[in-house]
Structure 1
């Protein structure tokens, strides 16, 4: 009896350690795709993506690079929260300028001025059909701003003199505030030192990245982790160019601290795992091989037949046949004349 219990225990441990059998199947069932998670949580895809960026829904890397998945336990945790799913939907409800002004009880022009001054931080943006940028704000954050008594003077009456001067200078902190928020999301999602460095590099012009990361192999490896601007449009489309412009830092002080962060993160990434480089034998062969020998040799184009040899018409074919007969008759006549 003791021997039977030992055998059963060993068999159970083997199935757990090797990841085969029913244990592995149960482990696979504990994860769902992001699309299925959105449906089970009662969220539209845009709401789900925003919930992930805000940390409302925790995701993990999938089996394919760039893919995310959600644990079944995370879905059950959210479902067990009070007032599900309405509370979750309210936490990710984003509004534009018109609805945001209604939430604060102010005119749209005043709302826009507050946003330009950086007092209201956008959480996302999209382009309308006229390719104008539409900034989105969390409704919950706007309510908190309006309920704070310290902001009462900003919601009514005349804008303070100092703030009016900033507005007259053309200040608009909406893109910069959104970049800071989006960078925080990318850094939270990154689980590799190179991915964190690539997240910071995503907000810098390639020229600034090249000045900070001088090694070409480090820079090439870093570029594989740079994130594309949100929107998913064709990189050459006007909308993608607008999104790229909003994603790229423009202010000198913002560029300076991004470059400082990039230098620090690249040093950490090198210490964690150096960037891949060609082997010493490949470098020696490439350096010793003459430049001319490394260029591909193009084969000469095939010779085209002479025009006279191409019987393009029946008349040309008849002339070619007669010239052949005449040449053979001359050859036979010459041979006959030379005989003794």
Structure 2
């Protein structure tokens, strides 16, 4: 990042302070497109331009209007805005009348959905009949079937924001693939290099993802499509997005690097030269192969094999054939001498003396002569078990 770029852009934390927003409110404003950001160098880092801050601060309702547009409320607060009970609001949200903007997990690992306060108020103004009286039969049947469209509506909102923010067709395809299971992605994308490229461009997880393994598994389950019709829709969308991305450029393969500073057109020939200029190197550079190793040829000499004596048989003539035998030029290879260890018997290492059998008999005789006896074992007491 240059000095000029640092002067005309600010970091997200500084932008949140100047807009008088909390970190989560500023993050939500960026996701909703209320605050435009620009990429800053390589990676996923983004910054806010100074002119964008001036535009937002020049609004007549700043900062209350911006803070109201990004205010997220829970179930109880949203029900209070509509003047209904929390249970009725939950049933309306489960049937798909309201789309959550984000979610979190509490200490009991229960999913807590958050809604935009502005959308909740607009729903109360457009559908007042659903706020009082008995719900329609269709909604009651869907609730009896345990239908819950809150995760699906949240995924649809998130995908729309990712597609709107993505400019690269491969990045848009990766956003669609992030909602599918890896098995579903492998069935749509046959090329493993394309799957690897989509995995590298996968969007980051939504903010507020839990750190513990069990809670993170629950959150990741909410980020993937689970309804059959939703899975089919995203599979078709991914196939169309891949066709669009392949039409623009192919996915990189191993051994290919993008060369920088190389012109893609053929340079003009120098003046006064009749030889046409060589074409410029392409932007894709492949790995060089190892040079081939030449094996020296082996001279084949014809050796005359002497005839084998065969008993003379009347009427049979044994010809003498010449068979080509390969002969390698060079001196004879010396055969190393093999050292054979000498084996010595155990009796040869024994010092000279009397046999072992004789010495043992003499010790027994001396023991009997001196009256030495083997000590008798002590009898065990009767109480011993």
| TM-score normalised over the length of structure 1 | 0.73
| Offset, 1:39 | 1.0
Assess, with a 3 A threshold, how the Cα gap between structure 1 residues 233 and 117 changes in structure 2: closer, same or farther: closer
Q: Is 2:73 the counterpart of 1:95? A: yes
SS in 2 for 1:186: helix
Residues of 1 paired with 2:204 and 2:179: CA distance? Answer: 10
Assess, with a 3 A threshold, how the Cα gap between structure 1 residues 136 and 58 changes in structure 2: closer, same or farther: same
| Offset, 1:247 | 0.6
Q: 2:40 aligned to 62, 72, 79, which one? A: 62
Q: Is 2:1 the counterpart of 1:49? A: no
Q: 2:227 aligned to 251, 268, 272, which one? A: 251
Residues of 2 paired with 1:228 and 1:234: CA distance? Answer: 14
SS in 2 for 1:135: strand
| TM-score normalised over the length of structure 2 | 0.64
SS in 1 for 2:203: coil
In the other structure, the counterpart of 1:162 is 138
Assess, with a 3 A threshold, how the Cα gap between structure 1 residues 232 and 96 changes in structure 2: closer, same or farther: closer
Q: 2:112 aligned to 128, 134, 137, which one? A: 134
SS in 1 for 2:15: helix
Assess, with a 3 A threshold, how the Cα gap between structure 1 residues 236 and 213 changes in structure 2: closer, same or farther: farther
| Offset, 1:160 | 1.1
Where in structure 2 are the equivalents of 1:1-340 lying within 5 Å? 25-148=3-126, 151-231=127-207, 233=209, 237-279=213-255
Q: Deviations over 1:151-181 (max 9, x none)?
A: 2221001111111011000010000000000
8 Å contact 1:229–1:240 — kept in the other structure?
A: no
Q: Deviations over 1:95-144 (max 9, x none)?
A: 00000000010000000000000001111111111111100001011111
Equivalences, count: 261
Residues of 2 paired with 1:232 and 1:273: CA distance? Answer: 35
Residues of 2 paired with 1:284 and 1:27: CA distance? Answer: 43
8 Å contact 2:105–2:210 — kept in the other structure?
A: no
8 Å contact 1:53–1:185 — kept in the other structure?
A: yes
- Structure number with higher helix proportion: 1
| Offset, 1:26 | 3.9
Q: Which runs of 5+ in 2 are unaligned?
A: 257-285, 291-385
| Offset, 1:232 | 5.5
8 Å contact 1:204–1:249 — kept in the other structure?
A: yes
Assess, with a 3 A threshold, how the Cα gap between structure 1 residues 283 and 158 changes in structure 2: closer, same or farther: farther
Q: Between Structure 1 and Structure 2, whose CA radius of gyration is higher?
A: 2
Residues of 2 paired with 1:204 and 1:37: CA distance? Answer: 34
- Over the aligned positions, Cα root-mean-square deviation in angstroms equals 2.1
Q: Deviations over 1:196-216 (max 9, x none)?
A: 111111100000000000001
Residues of 2 paired with 1:234 and 1:127: CA distance? Answer: 7
SS in 2 for 1:69: strand
Q: Deviations over 1:53-85 (max 9, x none)?
A: 111111111213111111100000000001211
8 Å contact 1:231–1:240 — kept in the other structure?
A: no
SS in 2 for 1:134: strand
Assess, with a 3 A threshold, how the Cα gap between structure 1 residues 27 and 38 changes in structure 2: closer, same or farther: same
Residues of 2 paired with 1:224 and 1:173: CA distance? Answer: 30
In the other structure, the counterpart of 1:10 is none
SS in 1 for 2:114: strand
| Offset, 1:279 | 4.2
